[in-house]
Structure 1
């Protein structure tokens, strides 16, 4: 498991670096997770941008306890290969980006489920290095890129992750990519140093333009 949680297995070339979140960026998360909840007799009630407190039982319409929500999320990660599919044209875009840049996946999830994610990504032909961590992403990207005089970009759906990387790697291109959904309307807005990509085609062009500038 350590090879997916530390950085020792990541070897970069003398090319630009694209660091990419996974859930709701490379792989759909929200839609399959809602379908998973339905299979258990629950549903997501998007009253705020969080899962805890917003998942209710269809039996009595009461919110599930936080511990149960965490257990359900972990069970979903364990079975992700059954539920999660590519987000938009992520597979095609990432393969094109990988022709001119190093790509590293940086996923925020319990590391014990990283091998499940590795198998899912490999099955899609996305064999780029994967780092799984629950730590802030900024210091991780800083360690990955170091002091290399090469362009670097970071794609994520969460504002706090984008801000973390922006603080740790000030010259990094920050791109927000997220689904359109009711719960995402409650999401915190990123700062002005973050660009919003409409889809993967848009994100791809922004990264390739940044790398060739």
Structure 2
């Protein structure tokens, strides 16, 4: 698969649906991004759960502006294949889950970088359909699932994305999963209805239990 699919091109089977975010869930993001920043004489400090204000120039100790952070992210995504690696256990777990369910990736990333991400995912044996959008995730999940009488699961590291899906697809099992423990400790706490997974094994157990309900 060489190009990112559009929503209307996704063909779901009569099986449960697992929709997963990418950065910090399927692919390591914060550690690779730190390495990328260090190659540009910047450091990422774990002072709060945000990038702007925490990316500091090594020599001047000045925080990068919001515009600079956006430019750095853009450059990182353009070369993501040099930096990003799979999170622990994701390849094997999704391979097993794909025997029971359809899997779709929904990444909050400028669509212009989707082709590079698609190529990286394919190289890493993560061949599932990819949607790249900067729009709220709840309406996208709602459209994908389309009210089917089948289990649906959404996995993300960001509380606001989980909340968006909760509002638009209330039957969805919500799972919070984040690879980087240091920044996870700084993250806003998800709602009580969200299953906080320690790793992909934990997430898979929750998903299979949801399928059996």
Q: Matched residue pairs, number? A: 211
1:186 to partner: Cα distance: 1.9
Q: Which residue of 2 aligns with 1:152?
A: 152
TM-score of the aligned structures, taking structure 1 as reference length: 0.96
Q: Is 1:84 equivalent to 2:81 in the alignment?
A: no
Distance in 1 (CA, whole Å) between partners of 2:116 and 2:180 is 26
Q: Which residue of 2 aligns with 1:99?
A: 99
**Where in structure 1 are there 5+ consecutive unaligned residues?**
none
SS at match of 2:4: helix
Distance in 2 (CA, whole Å) between partners of 1:105 and 1:191 is 22
Q: Which residue of 2 aligns with 1:7?
A: 7
Distance in 1 (CA, whole Å) between partners of 2:153 and 2:94 is 13
Identify the range of structure 1 (38-47 vs 134-143) with the bigger mean alpha-carbon deviation.
Answer: 38-47
1:183 to partner: Cα distance: 2.8
1:24 to partner: Cα distance: 0.3
Q: Which residue of 2 aligns with 1:22?
A: 22
Change (3 A) 1:5 1:50: farther
Change (3 A) 1:164 1:145: same
Distance in 2 (CA, whole Å) between partners of 1:25 and 1:179 is 6
Q: Which residue of 1 aligns with 2:178?
A: 178
Q: Deviations over 1:188-211 (max 9, x none)?
A: 111111011110011111111211
Q: Which residue of 1 aligns with 2:197?
A: 197
Q: Deviations over 1:7-41 (max 9, x none)?
A: 02211000000000000000000000001111111
Distance in 1 (CA, whole Å) between partners of 2:180 and 2:64 is 25
Distance in 2 (CA, whole Å) between partners of 1:97 and 1:181 is 25
Distance in 2 (CA, whole Å) between partners of 1:45 and 1:199 is 24
Q: Which residue of 1 aligns with 2:161?
A: 161
Once superposed, what is the RMSD of the aligned Cα atoms?
Answer: 1.1
1:184 to partner: Cα distance: 2.6
SS at match of 1:19: strand
**Where in structure 2 are there 5+ consecutive unaligned residues?**
none
Distance in 2 (CA, whole Å) between partners of 1:27 and 1:202 is 17
